Structure 1
Amino acid sequence: MRADAKKNYSHILTVAREAVTEHGADVSMRDIARRADVGLATLLRHFPTREALYEALLCDNLDALTQKAEALERANSPDEAVVSWIRDWVAFAQSYDGVVNLMASAHNNPQSALYASCAAIHSASARLLLRAQTEGTARPDMNGDDLFALMTALGWAVDQPSFVPRSDHLVRLITSTILTNRSGA
């Protein structure tokens, strides 16, 4: 990438991060281009879709989350790893308003720029769940799709202002449903 193109790319990401933080995932691409003082065509050349922009914005966060799952697999008991993973997911879900909806829609769409990141999150979730099931601490009637769906639902719920104060309680409820040796208390 040419130096000026790289500078534009970095500047657009900085402005997009600010706009998304301020207005959520529904901020228009046109508004981002205007704020970045570039033409819409320039923005779309770097990020042809909203998902491509989000993939660039979230790449570091998603990579860190996936690496966290790997660390949890090695360092924590299986049930504690699941609890920590879900808490980390909730923190991620709260990082950008509307990100869960984007990820949920990209989950089964290989054409989406977010698909690979969603697949990595799904795979990490499934591994953590399977490890807990093998240990006998998680429900045997669940699979990775079920866990991803529950995490997505929880992420959506804590993205709603009325549920933010109850996010810890909701995490406890979900984990007590998944893990056989935990209570919701």
Structure 2
Amino acid sequence: MSAASEAIARDGAEASLEAIARSAGVGSATLHRHFPSRWSLMEAVFAERVDCLFDRAEELRDAPEPLDALVRWLREVAAYATTTRGLAAALLNGPPEESSTCQAHLIAAGDSLVRRAVEAGAVRGDVATADLLTLVNAISLAAQQAGPEEAERLVTLMLEGVLVRQG
């Protein structure tokens, strides 16, 4: 896992599986026995990072201002995905025939934040966590070259479309 994490951090989601196996001191067959597809390796590498975002959503779940909690979490997801090469692409482009554990975990994390913001009347009722994460991941992909500041700016623009207009 360490060799895969380093290679993906350096080369993104298209890191050479053969180079990862060599760096880990195992053969290609051993790598494929543990991770039958590139996607399964990606999910294993990103699982720990996604767990941190899940924990952060848990911390924010009881924040006094539901909208602030949701916005803070979405910005953190965007910054994380922008600076973690390959994460946004992997979450957006995972093969449909394989379930996305990372995506499901993030949706579960954000559901309570979105629900609280909707119940508070701050977010439109037709907004789904999966929709927000798709938009945040797309923003992260677009901002990878520019960095987290650009991702934050674009998340702010995106949120203008999901917030309930006051007055």
Write the letter of the residue equivalent to 1:171: V
Question: RMSD in angstroms over aligned alpha carbons?
Answer: 2.2
Unaligned runs of 5+ in 1: 1-12
1:170 pairs with one of 149, 154, 157:
154
For 1:98 and 1:147, how far apart are their aligned partners in 2? 19
Whether 1:143 and 2:143 are equivalent positions in the alignment is no
1:26-175 to 2 correspondence within 5 Å?
Answer: 26-106=14-94, 109=96, 111-112=98-99, 115-159=100-144, 161-162=145-146, 165-175=149-159
For 1:74 and 1:167, how far apart are their aligned partners in 2? 26
SS in 2 for 1:24: helix
Write the letter of the residue equivalent to 1:89: V
Query: Does structure 1 retain, via aligned residues, the 8 Å contact 2:58–2:109?
Result: yes
For 1:153 and 1:130, how far apart are their aligned partners in 2? 22
For 2:98 and 2:112, how far apart are their aligned partners in 1? 24
- If asked which structure has higher relative contact order (CA below 8 Å, sep 6+), I would say 2
Give CA-to-partner distance per residue, 1:45-96, whole Å, 9 cap, x none: 2222222222222222111211211211112411111111111101220242
Question: Cα distance, 1:170 vs. partner?
Answer: 1.2
For 2:11 and 2:130, how far apart are their aligned partners in 1? 30
Query: Does structure 2 retain, via aligned residues, the 8 Å contact 1:157–1:163?
Result: no
Structure exhibiting the larger radius of gyration computed from Cα positions:
1
For 2:60 and 2:148, how far apart are their aligned partners in 1? 25
Across the two proteins, how many residue pairs are aligned to each other? 166
For 1:58 and 1:33, how far apart are their aligned partners in 2? 18
- TM-score normalised by structure 2 residue count: 0.86
Write the letter of the residue equivalent to 1:168: E
Identity within the alignment, %: 33
* Counterpart in the other structure of 2:11: 23
Write the letter of the residue equivalent to 2:16: S
For 2:153 and 2:79, how far apart are their aligned partners in 1? 14
